[in-house]
Amino acid sequence: MGRWAEQQVAGWGRYPSTTALVARPETRRDIEAAFKDREGSPVLAQGMRRSYGDAALLKGCRVIDFTHINRMLSFDEHEGWLRCEAGVTIAEIVDVFLERGWFPPVVPGTKYVTVAGALASDIHGKNHHVAGSWSDHVRRVELLTANGEVVTCDRATNSDLFWATAGGQGLTGMILAMDVRLGRVRSSTTASDADQVPMIDVETIRVPDLATFLQVSAASHQREYTVGWVDGTARGRGTGRGVLMRGDWSAAPRRAVRRRAARASMARYLGSGWLINSATIKSFNTFYYRRHIRRATARTVDADRFFFPLDAVQGWNVLYGKRGFLQYQFVVPPGGGGDRVAAILEAIASSGIAASLGVIKEFGERAHGGLSFPAPGITVALDFPNTGTRLLDLLDRLDDAVASAGGRVYLAKDARLGRESFRRMYPDWSRWKEVRDAADPDQVFQSDLGRRLGLVGDAS
Amino acid sequence: MTVLILGATSPIARAIAREYAMRGNPIALAARDVAEVARHASDITIRYGVKARGYAFDALEYDRHRETVAEAARDLGPIEVGVIAFGDLGDWQRSVTDPTAARAVLETNFVGAASTAEALAQHMAPRRSGTIVGLSSVAGERGRYSNYFYGSSKGAFSLYLQGLRARLYHEGVHVLTVKPGLIDTPMTWGLRRGRIPIASPESLARAITRGVERRRDVIYHPWFWKWVMGLLRAVPESRWKRIKI
Ligand SMILES: Cc1cc2nc3c(=O)[nH]c(=O)nc-3n(C[C@H](O)[C@H](O)[C@H](O)COP(=O)(O)OP(=O)(O)OC[C@H]3O[C@@H](n4cnc5c(N)ncnc54)[C@H](O)[C@@H]3O)c2cc1C
Ligand SMILES: NC(=O)c1ccc[n+]([C@@H]2O[C@H](COP(=O)([O-])OP(=O)(O)OC[C@H]3O[C@@H](n4cnc5c(N)ncnc54)[C@H](OP(=O)(O)O)[C@@H]3O)[C@@H](O)[C@H]2O)c1
């Protein structure tokens, strides 16, 4: 049929939702042809649409879907460098390489993201404290730029463009391919049986409050992976209560049990939104906390279970119903014994709006400026059912608190941040925009997020 | 056992290549876009650890077809499965007004496909072994108001494959005719979803490898198209000509 198909599109949070003309090229030639054939319209690249808000949306314009641009081009068995096309997913990398003893350098909480999306959001994972973010492991990017040329960027040539693309939310051009360095998994050196895959030794520690969380987290810096679950509905003395998980690749590989993703139809059946409300969230959170009866437990689990537990339920985002949901993720600088985080958590819990699925993590020192999110400090991510203005008002108040504390919110999760707050949070933005504008003077690459935050077009 | 895929850049072709590579077969990928098939070949080698190579191929360059088959066989071993995957849907309204456009569709899907099949037959018959897989279409089962250019070319290809199957039966070579319904590829991109289920290229590829293993003659995919087409064929011509589909 035609190259462009009108589609209703939304991010993972299913809020907001817009229509756009979408092309899904199969080959590099198709990409270039689609780019030329956009009839002067602004355009945006899109991956697996796992960003929550409007980072991958471009209302009424052209969007190029990169999910079929997914060839692995070369692999260096000694150093772990993988050259691959933009649409290769982390799931594919894990599938192909884990049994050979390699793992993506950084993984998010879902494996269904593309490597281009990973760079465009400069994603972080449970190992940020030791490994930094995605861009720390990329040495070279092929970018289709606004004038239709393919430019190679690395730390030496076009380095400005390289850094602006890391975290640049697709606004510097379309990533065609990159070199990313996979990490060696320790245990694999002993793997001989093909059916054996590396596993993770994980310890789970119940923490009654934020101070304890910070103590345990600080004591876990030697561990490769650390992450916490935090009860966003707990108040007062229990503020910040939750569970901390820390893990390392296990010395002994095990036979992996292949788990199947729960049927999508199940989630769809439950998906009218009735399931998730303040009351159910509160009881779930309490249940989850109490379930960890013992203070600490240790087990060995497979990588899917440790890194991507949510992927076990396909399409779980529909559980929030038609209005969708919003995730709020922020980072605030360390210091003050976590007082700043505690104050924000307290503000959320006392608002009466229940947040489900809170994730908390202490970032390491590495930060890249530009629009890249990770910075030293503590990051918290919370999901909120979309309850309209009441929620939006709360989030506006939180923005103020976060910005005042010298922190910022994560654009990959955002659907509503205002320009003013954005500029306070990302003081580097104007420098970033200079680089972008030099590469794209005619504002060819745009997104709804970029328009909202003044990253494209006139910066007033 | 080497698998040669002609028209290797489409999603259906890619899915078939992966399905065979996963089982450890060397893969030869032939297409017009040589840079693309080279990338595709690297991908297959990295993912599945099998040999894979790209070859230049154009369905309309008839005098090169045998050479392409021979070249792939020289590099990767005798071709056991040859898949004729390319196809041209065309723009039927343009075909109505522009004879060159109409001819391209008819020629690619029928003449080009038949020429390729003969090249494969010539390679396989002396060894009395191998399977030729032809991607035809349910669209070839009855001429329709819209895109009868594509439909007739696929119909002709189906008839051709039927004859070839009978001939090669006596020479130890198998012929599988594949009649897909709607598959999620650029050909169907933008069709209104939801009304008629659209199958994935991966599910079609699995059906094809199964069909090859079981030496099936004709497969429809998804299966219900067999019954749908049976019903459509049963509509009397006097009624059929009034329906604009
Ligand atoms: C359950 C869940 C857990 C998550 N956990 C984490 C986490 O732990 N850490 C973390 O950092 N993030 C996390 N995320 C967010 C996710 O990693 C990012 O939003 C990521 O960018 C999504 O990649 P994608 O392929 O889906 O891209 P999309 O969402 O489709 O696009 C994201 C951005 O990338 C750009 N983009 C996509 N393809 C290209 C291309 N070819 N060229 C240029 N730009 C492109 C888009 O324009 C857009 O701006 C999580 C998301 C979910 C749903
Ligand atoms: N999709 C469906 O619903 C459907 C249904 C029934 C049957 N089919 C059949 O299944 C097969 C694959 O379909 P698809 O949907 O995957 O196709 P597609 O995405 O439209 O791709 C068509 C393929 O044919 C190739 N091709 C066209 N003309 C060629 C030529 N002269 N020489 C060499 N290659 C040529 C193209 O190569 P380039 O990359 O060089 O252009 C491309 O790889 C086709 O035969 C099609 O008719 C598809």
Least CB-CB distance to A2: which of B39, B185, B190? B190
Cα–Cα nearest to A415, from A133, A10, A122, A6: A10
The confidence score (pLDDT) of residue B161 equals 98
Asked if A246 reaches chain B (Cβ–Cβ under 8 Å), the answer is no
Q: Measure in Å the smallest separation between the Cα of A23 and chain B Cα atoms.
A: 8
pLDDT at B203 over 80: yes
Domain containing residue B236: CATH number: 3.40.50.720
pLDDT at B55 over 70: yes
pLDDT tier, B153 (very low <50, low <70, confident <90, very high otherwise): very high
Extract the runs of DSSP E, i.e. beta strands, from A305-456: 325-332, 356-363, 377-385, 408-409
When pLDDT is averaged across residues B155-168 and rounded to a whole number, the result is 98
Give the three-class secondary structure for B206: helix
Residue in the structure block whose two tokens are 């659907």? A415
Q: Measure in Å the smallest separation between the Cα of B43 and chain A Cα atoms.
A: 5
Cα–Cα nearest to B186, from A117, A177, A34: A34
Ligand with minimal distance to A85 CA: 1
User: Taken in order B118, B124, B125, B130, is the CA torsion positive or negative?
Assistant: negative
One-letter amino acid at B128 equals R
Are A96 and B46 in contact (CB < 8 Å)? yes
List Cβ neighbours of A216 (8 Å cut-off, separation of 6 or more). A205, A207, A244
pLDDT at B87 over 50: yes
Phi, psi of A329, rounded to the nearest 5 degrees: -120, 130
The confidence score (pLDDT) of residue A52 equals 98
CATH class entry, domain A196-416: alpha beta
The confidence score (pLDDT) of residue A191 equals 47
Q: In what order do the strands lie in the sheet with A325-332?
A: A296-302, A199-207, A242-249, A225-230, A356-363, A377-385, A325-332, A408-409
pLDDT at B11 over 90: yes
In a domain, B171, yes or no: yes
d(Cα A52, Cα A409) in Å, to the nearest integer? 13
Ligand with minimal distance to A106 CA: 1
Q: What range does the domain containing B10 cover?
A: 2-240
Least CB-CB distance to B9: which of A1, A2, A27? A27
With a 6 A CB cut-off, is A121 part of the ligand 1 pocket? yes
* pLDDT means over runs of 10, chain A (460 residues): 90 96 97 97 98 98 98 97 98 96 97 98 98 98 98 98 98 98 76 72 94 94 96 90 95 64 55 73 78 80 93 89 95 86 93 89 95 97 94 97 96 98 97 97 98 89
Alpha carbon of A64 to those of A38, A57, A69, B196: distances in Å?
10, 10, 11, 25
pLDDT at B1 over 70: yes
With a 6 A CB cut-off, is B60 part of the ligand 2 pocket? yes
**Taking a C-beta distance cutoff of 8 angstroms, is the pair A66, A84 a contact?**
no
Q: Measure in Å the smallest separation between the Cα of B102 and chain A Cα atoms.
A: 16
pLDDT digits (tens, 9 = 90+) for B179-198: 999 999 999 998 876 678 89
Pairing of strands A254-255, A408-409: unpaired
Top pLDDT among A161 and B244 is at: A161
A16 burial class (0-12, 13-18, 19+ CB within 10 angstroms)? middle
Write out chain A residues lying below 8 Å of B14, CB-based: 26
d(Cα A282, Cα A274) in Å, to the nearest integer? 15
d(Cα B116, Cα B108) in Å, to the nearest integer? 10
Residue in the structure block whose two tokens are 């304890």? A212
**Taking a C-beta distance cutoff of 8 angstroms, is the pair B181, B228 a contact?**
yes
Q: What is the largest CA-CA distance in chain B?
A: 56
The confidence score (pLDDT) of residue A270 equals 61
The confidence score (pLDDT) of residue B120 equals 98
Tokens of B23: 């089982």
Ligand with minimal distance to A308 CA: 1
Least CB-CB distance to A26: which of B11, B43, B46? B11
Cα–Cα nearest to B7, from B65, B71, B80: B65
**Cα nearest neighbour of B189 on chain A:** A1
In a domain, B245, yes or no: no
Write out chain A residues lying below 8 Å of B201, CB-based: none
Tokens of A326: 């919003």
Asked if B93 reaches chain A (Cβ–Cβ under 8 Å), the answer is no
Cα–Cα nearest to B27, from B136, B40, B134: B40
Alpha carbon of B82 to those of A153, A165, B21: distances in Å?
41, 43, 14
One-letter amino acid at B61 equals E
**Taking a C-beta distance cutoff of 8 angstroms, is the pair B12, B204 a contact?**
yes
Q: Domain total for chain B?
A: 1
Asked if A5 reaches chain B (Cβ–Cβ under 8 Å), the answer is yes
